[in-house]
Amino acid sequence: MRIRFTKMQGAGNDFVVLDETRGALGLDATQYRFLADRHFGVGADQILSVRPAPGEGVDFQYVIHNADGGEVEQCGNGARCFMRFVREHGLTDKDQVRVQTLSGVIEPRMGADGRVTVDMGAPIFEPQRVPFDTAGLDPQHDNGWHTWHLTLGTHAESAKVSVAVLSMGNPHAVQIVPDVDTAPVAKQGPAIEHHPRFPQRVNAGFMQIVDRSHVRLRVFERGAGETLACGTGACAAVVAGIRLGRLDSRVDVQTHGGLLTIEWTGDGAPVLMTGPAVTVFEGDIEVPDAP
């Protein structure tokens, strides 16, 4: 099957975007993996499918697959690219749309400066809704909130990390590190992603606090490995930092791929994420038939 695609990036987190508004392409996990493959396919951290509204009150549906082929609930950098895509392809002339995702409705809005702001909804803190299994674990109380000690690996090789756990529609475990450049992302990332306390796996964030309104962040993403930026990871890290009393309500997040601005005024309020969304190129590709 030959399909048309658009390659996009948001702060270096890159996507293959598919227009499925006139009918679903019916791709399976092996075909999503093929599109994401940087040697044999197009190359991307996630595949984003733009689909028609599933019902009243929303403009579109947004379906996200990680590079490993698994469907996921949310993708922040992708949401900004989604907005630019529907505008550039004439699928809407609105400046702001309501989009149904697997984890709820988000609202991206085009800014006059070309950046996109997304209302990502309110963060979720209840461990069972992350999901995060806390059986037999004691929270480490810290400034009115808490973190959790996780043991990674076994025996002599084991390490203990302290993580804040929350969901932005998708699961995140965030640790505060002294320096992101030396943080053990490649070693600890996979161990945190697959830690048995996260039954649906987890995105692992490493945040360096520069001052109350600036952080540096690296994220080892579930199903994609370390990416140049993770939008929901930036939201989760800033929310964790605010709840732990270390950050103000508006924070610039420097990632390896670009700058994101995150705003959150506290419990129950939605998280606002602002950043770039760029079209890289468009093309056609022959996708091998599903086995």
Binding mask 209-248 for ligand LBFN2T5F (x = CB under 6 A): ------------xxxx--x--xxx----------------
Both tokens assigned to 210: 């520069």
Under the binding rule (CB under 6 A), the answer on residue 274 touching ligand LBFN2T5F is: no
Which residues neighbour 85 within 8 Å (Cβ) at sequence distance 6 or greater? Answer: 6, 8, 17, 19, 48, 50, 91, 279
Is 255 one of the binding residues for ligand LBFN2T5F (CB under 6 A)? Answer: no
Using the minimum distance from each CB to ligand LBFN2T5F, give the nearer residue, 142 or 226. 226
Among 203, 208, 255, 274, binds ligand LBFN2T5F (CB under 6 A): 203
At which residue do the structure tokens 């930092």 appear?
A: 241
Minimum CB separation of residue 15 from ligand LBFN2T5F in Å reads: 8
Find the binder of ligand LBFN2T5F among 46, 61, 100, 255 (CB under 6 A): 46
Stated as kind and residue range, the H or E segment containing 36 is helix 29-36
The reply on whether position 75 binds ligand LBFN2T5F by CB under 6 A is yes
CA atoms within 13 A on the CB side of 229: 31
Query: Pick from 7, 42, 47, 76: which binds ligand LBFN2T5F (CB under 6 A)?
Result: 76
Under rule CB under 6 A, residue 121 binds ligand LBFN2T5F = no
Rg of the chain over CA atoms, in angstroms? 18
How many residues line the site for ligand LBFN2T5F (CB under 6 A)? 19
Interaction of residue 6 with ligand LBFN2T5F, rule CB under 6 A: no
* Closer of 51 and 172 to ligand LBFN2T5F (Cβ): 172
Which region, judged by CB under 6 A, interacts with ligand LBFN2T5F, from 36-44, 69-77, 102-110, 257-265? 69-77
Mapped to the 3 state alphabet, what secondary structure does 205-237 carry?
Answer: EEEEEEECCEEEEEEEECCCEEECCCHHHHHHH
Return the SS3 of 252: strand
Q: Is 13 helix (H, G, I), strand (E, B) or coil?
A: strand
Determine which helix (DSSP H) or strand (DSSP E) holds 80, and give its type and residue range. Answer: helix 76-88
Q: Is 230 a catalytic residue?
A: yes
* Binding-site annotation, residues: 13, 46, 66, 76-77, 170, 203, 221-222, 231-232
Pairing of strands 214-221, 225-227: antiparallel
CA atoms of 250 and 7, how far apart (whole Å): 30
Residue tagged active-site, from 75, 83, 163, 240: 75
Q: CB-based burial of residue 249 (10 Å sphere; 0-12 exposed, 13-18 middle, 19+ buried)?
A: middle
User: Minimum Å distance from CB 143 to ligand LBFN2T5F?
Assistant: 26
Rule CB under 6 A: which of 149-188 touch ligand LBFN2T5F?
170
Contact, 78 vs 88, CB < 8 A?
no
> Contacting ligand LBFN2T5F (CB under 6 A), which of 6, 49, 61, 66?
66
CA dist 102 and 127 (Å) reads 19
Contact (CB, 8 A) for 57 and 98: yes
- Give the catalytic positions in this structure: 75, 230
Q: Which residues bind ligand LBFN2T5F (CB under 6 A)?
A: 13, 45-46, 66, 72, 75-78, 170, 203, 221-224, 227, 230-232
